[in-house]
Copies of this chain bind each other. A is one copy, B any other.
């Protein structure tokens, strides 16, 4: 099963468009935590029937050096095989370097999909795209305030004027010959999300920025979800992971995930 098939299946099985971001931040983790893997394992056990995917951001693991990467590998292996795991790596590099990243993320770690950055263009993405059974989800319109610095610049495009993120989406759609590409569009920019979903009704969209970052859920659901309800990944990290700092953190995470999943479903 390739990434999109797996995503469709898990979305259906768990009646969920919710992705839990596995971003273990030692400063926020419950008191008395015995380690990153143990924390993740408890979160996974508490939420595996409620999510369409998991999304560890590799930054948190890398910052812990080799031990962090070991925890990431164990975490990935612990996630039930029928739930896709998207590594949030936002890589973008060239030639043999991009190949090394793709090998690391897809072969060594065996992730089902990764996020990637578009700035270096098609040849920087090709080593990822060539893994046809994996997903490559490319930054289009990110959820942060600084997104406007470059992503909203008006550019010339075929005699027309379009914002950079629109051109990125257009190119990604054009490059999607193996059907394994997707886009990151932040929940915090609902109008942009609407525009992208209207133009690319079947494009897998990863939507961060719900919850801690403040994206308005009703708009996200009404503007962002695809008709088949199997190509939309609404991510929440902190709101779920750190729902409680006490010993009940896993139960609290389950409760937060359950509520968010059900709120999304009630808005469909």
Per the 8 Å Cβ criterion, residues 122-160 of A in contact with B are 122-125, 139, 142-151, 153-157
Bound together, the chains give a CA A144 to CA B23 distance in angstroms of 32
In the assembled complex, the Cα of A168 lies from the Cα of B143 at a distance in Å of 20
- Residues of B contacting A59 with CB < 8 Å? 91, 93, 97-98, 100-101, 104
CB-based contact B65/A97 at 8 Å: no
Tell me whether B95 and A93 are in contact (CB under 8 A).
Answer: no
- On chain A, the number of residues with a Cβ less than 8 Å from chain B's Cβ atoms is 61
A67/B66 contact (C-beta < 8 A), A90-B91, A154-B156 known:
yes
Decide: A93 and B57 in contact? CB cutoff 8 A.
yes
In angstroms, Cα B146 to Cα A93, docked, is: 11
Chain B proximity of A89: nearest CB distance (Å): 9
Query: Which residues of B have CB within 8 Å of A122?
Result: 146, 149
Contact flag A101-B62 (CB < 8 Å), given A90-B91, A90-B93, A93-B57: yes
A164 and B155 contact, Cβ closer than 8 Å, known pairs A23-B97, A97-B59, A124-B146: yes
Report copies per complex: 2
Per-position 1/0 for A157-185, Cβ under 8 A of B: 10001001001100100000000000000
Q: Least Cβ distance of A97 to chain B in Å? A: 5
Beta-carbon contact of A151 and B93 below 8 Å: no
A25 sits at the interface (CB 8 A) = yes
Assess whether A39 is interfacial by the CB under 8 Å rule.
no
A residues 74-122 with Cβ under 8 Å of B? Answer: 88, 90-98, 100-101, 103-104, 108-109, 117-122
Contact A63–B155 (Cβ < 8 Å) = no
* Binary contact readout A211-249 vs B (1 if CB under 8 angstroms, 0 otherwise): 001000000000000000000000000000000000000
- Shortest Cβ gap from A189 to chain B (Å): 13
Q: Tell yes or no: A70 within 8 A of B by CB.
A: yes
A28: nearest chain-B partner, CB-CB: B96
Rounded to whole angstroms, the CA-CA distance of A22 and B175 in the bound complex is 32
Would you call A25 and B100 a contact (CB within 8 A)? yes
List 10 A-B residue pairs with CB atoms under 8 Å apart, sorted by A's residue number: A25-B96, A60-B97, A62-B100, A63-B101, A66-B66, A117-B117, A150-B167, A153-B164, A153-B167, A164-B164
Which 4 A-B pairs have CB atoms at the shortest separation, nearest pair first? A121-B146, A121-B149, A63-B104, A66-B66
| A-B contact sample (19 more), CB < 8 A, given A60-B100, A65-B104, A95-B213 | A57-B100, A59-B91, A62-B101, A63-B100, A63-B104, A64-B108, A66-B67, A66-B70, A66-B73, A90-B117, A119-B119, A119-B139, A120-B146, A122-B146, A123-B145, A150-B171, A153-B155, A154-B155, A155-B155
